[in-house]
Amino acid sequence: MNMSGRFSLAGKVALVTGGASGIGQAIAIGMAEAGADVAVTANRRGADETVAGIEQAGRRALVLPVDLAGLDTSGAEALLDKVAEELGPVNILVNNAGIIRRAPAADYPDEDWQAVMAVNLDAVWRLSRAAGKRMLARKQGSIISIASLLSYQGGVFVPAYAAAKHAVAGLTKALANEWAGQGVNVNAIAPGYIATANTAALQADETRNRQILERIPAGHWGSPEDIAGSAVFLASPAARYVHGHVLTVDGGWMAR
């Protein structure tokens, strides 16, 4: 296999959660451009732009309207069955969907804790377990979860998010320890400050934006495409010996 072939996802089927916009959208389109057919989950909004990008790359697209906050074991299995029925068995799972709720820890509502954990950790676990079983049976597959800089740091006013993202990093390593020898790669990506609609308020806050940029050696915010490239790499044959790694894509933030 030549070097270009090592980064090809031709013949693969990817499932990307939270693929309607932002990082998830960029990952879904990036994987299509690398040759994969792509299914995305979307909650409360359409994914027309994502579908257009996938189809423009000449690949098949599937949108699954799913509320990951309520995803139980049978729901995870049904989701994978639906993708297999429409596109083929899932070779690549990207656990991208996530939410954040902010409040001082002393006053943090239980319902916010439970909501964040349901989407950011429980759904990741249930989908990884369901997809992993199928990948193990085929002795091939890749699971990529979106972690965070708060997989390493505590943040302020985001105790549930920090706890969940620390857990995602730990789960990534735990699954890799079990599955690496059976043909299944399990890794994660920890994005730094990425310019998306979710971070628009921070970008617009002159003081906070300046403070962030002063900490980033690269001197600018990242783009969703920066994360997409890393995801394509981790899903490709080029990363076949990469297991249990949390790849930080942060412009140098953690090195500062």
The question of whether 161 is a catalytic residue gets the answer yes
Q: Which of 108, 161, 193, 241 is catalytic?
A: 161
Rounded Cα distance, 62 and 78, in Å: 15
CB atoms within 10 A of CB 182: 14
Side chain identity at residue 140, one-letter code: Q
Residues 6 or more apart whose CB falls under 8 angstroms from that of 28 comprise: 14, 16, 19, 38, 40, 50, 53, 54, 94
Measured CA to CA, the distance from residue 60 to residue 55 in angstroms comes to: 6
Which run of H or E residues covers position 95? strand 92-95
CA atoms within 13 A on the CB side of 251: 17
State the DSSP string of 36-64.
-EEEEEESSS--HHHHHHHHHTT--EEEE
Is-contact 39 86, C-beta < 8 A? yes
Active site residues: 161
